Structure 1
């Protein structure tokens, strides 16, 4: 899965707070007195300081990065489509889990693409590297599985499949994977990078299965998996994939530290300063970067 699935949890708190203003407009009334936006904002700062700092980061990153990098509607629609394909029938549950609607998720994806563009602007790869990456690259596959605790149960499920039982019904009944069981074991589309998110035994099995073929029980640290590839996509010629794979290869080299350094660099160039003392911690990495720069010069 892509990194946005892992980092979306940070978004949940930020989305609800980002729109809160600090004016004198009344947000609630009572016989005992009114509550203004400013009162609510100050109360939230005291009680939810980390979430407020996160919200400030998200807003400022978007403002600063939008000055130098552009995300088109076409790019955003493509990213959303890929997200839906990866999540499959779990898409609506994913939005509900993080208290998002589709617009909120698209806003998040736009920021992720801005971060991505900023980071990739400083990463270089050669044509030779891209070609070698293409040779090892595997096309997306649609996967489903049933996870059970022991081999005996796995063989029982496998026998029922051999006798004509429906995979999705058995997954709902037997699978110990709560994330996919309710969807008939469906894990959605798994891309080249997504394969690496599974345990090694699972990934190895994917390399041996053909479309429509059901695996023998595969043992892993989680139990026993019965896996099926239900659909596949074709691997296109290199010339048609070069741009896409160049981007993917660059992303594979963008470790979190490199990403943060690039973001700090953009914020420093934009002369970002936090005026609210309660939110000073939002960009602590900037002061850290300043100190590191000073130490380097002194040496």
Structure 2
């Protein structure tokens, strides 16, 4: 997520400076006895130091403007996303914000852009009632998962026996688990939704499908070692009629990949007639096809330059 933390900070400050107007030399934003600094100087310095990030920041700023003009993200939707993040991250939520230098308002700005992109991508996706019903039948409700990860089978059996003898799962996770991300939280991985189950290695995901609430798994071997898994809570699955809208949204989202999303964003930018007037940032909205078209042209130009250079050398030698 650091990829977007810096661009968002740039978008909030430096890029805004470029549209301030004023004299050719720029507006003075800091003074000293040795001289002043203008917004133009700062903008040029930031471009020099953070070229690729500046392009990404420009993309995000323009996408937010264009998509906000066509799609709406409500305060209720944003609050729901924040609450989902808090629920999934649990005690790690504040640490997550601090890790990426965000406060909650900054996190909401990121979530708003993500929701706008999602709405744009989903606008053209269609699903049938039969597809939705089939998706619902396979759908599994959210579960709160904990695990203890150890390096070898002998240790896994030792921990499993201590649990069978009445040992506390959270205490044993802190003592034995080699997973730094969950050990200090008593082995908790937080709430895992239907799609989130697939984020784990296949052996782990398969074990989750067989466990009941408060049941402790046998040691599960994966490339990371041996897992002892426990589902501490599980939400109830509502009726199809009550969940139909949610199932429809989730099914549509499952049909969107990064390539489809990028194609839709490119279409939206083209429809909005986006043009970049800053030569240094011209590539910010260049599509993959346009990049491929330019590459051969640049190669041809380089070949012509080389040929001209060779001809000049030959002429000099002849003289």
Does the alignment reach a TM-score above 0.5?
yes
Q: Figure out how many residues of one structure are paired with residues of the other and give that number.
A: 285
In the alignment, structure 1 residue 150 sits paired with structure 2 residue 143? no
SS of 2:290 mapped into structure 1? helix
Distance 2:250 2:282 in 1: 35
Aligned equivalent of 2:23: none
For the pair 1:262 / 2:255, whether they are aligned, the reply is no
| Distance in 2 between residues matched to 1:287 and 1:147, nearest whole Å | 46
User: For residues 252-273 of structure 1, what are the alpha-carbon distances to aligned partners after superposition, in whole Å with 9 as ceiling and x for unaligned?
Assistant: 1111111111111111110001
The alignment status of 1:184 with 2:189, answered yes or no, reads: no
Is the aligned partner of 1:15 residue 2:8? Answer: yes
Q: For structure 1, list consecutive stretches of 5 or more residues without a partner in the other structure.
A: 1-7, 292-299
Runs of 4+ in 1 over 2 A off after TM superposition: 22-38, 159-166, 286-291
Q: By how many angstroms is 1:30 displaced?
A: 3.9
1:32 is displaced (CA, Å) by: 2.5
**Greater displacement, 166-175 / 116-125:** 166-175
Cα RMSD for the two superposed structures: 1.9
Higher RCO (CA < 8 A, seq sep 6+) = 1
Q: Give the deviation of 1:76 after TM superposition.
A: 1.1
- How big is the shift at 1:29? 4.2
CA distance in 1, matches of 2:53, 2:291: 23
Residue 197 (structure 1) shift: 0.6
2:218 aligned partner: 216
For normalisation by structure 2, the TM-score amounts to 0.85
Matched, 1:175 2:182: no
TM-score using structure 1 length:
0.90
Does residue 60 (structure 1) correspond to residue 53 (structure 2)? The answer is no
Q: Is the 8 A contact 1:89 1:188 kept in 2?
A: no
Structure 2: gaps (5+ residues)? 21-25, 294-319
Superposed, 1:63-212 pairs within 5 Å as 63-212=65-214
**Contact 1:211/1:228 (<8 A) preserved:** yes
Deviations 1:196-245 (A, max 9, x none): 11111101111111111111111011100011111110000001111111
Distance 1:10 1:245 in 2: 31
CA distance in 2, matches of 1:289, 1:250: 30
Question: Are 1:272 and 2:265 an aligned pair?
Answer: no
Q: Would you say the 8 A contact 1:53–1:281 is kept in 2?
A: yes
Cα pair distance change 1:286/1:167, threshold 3 Å: same
Q: 1:196, 1:286 → 2: CA distance?
A: 30
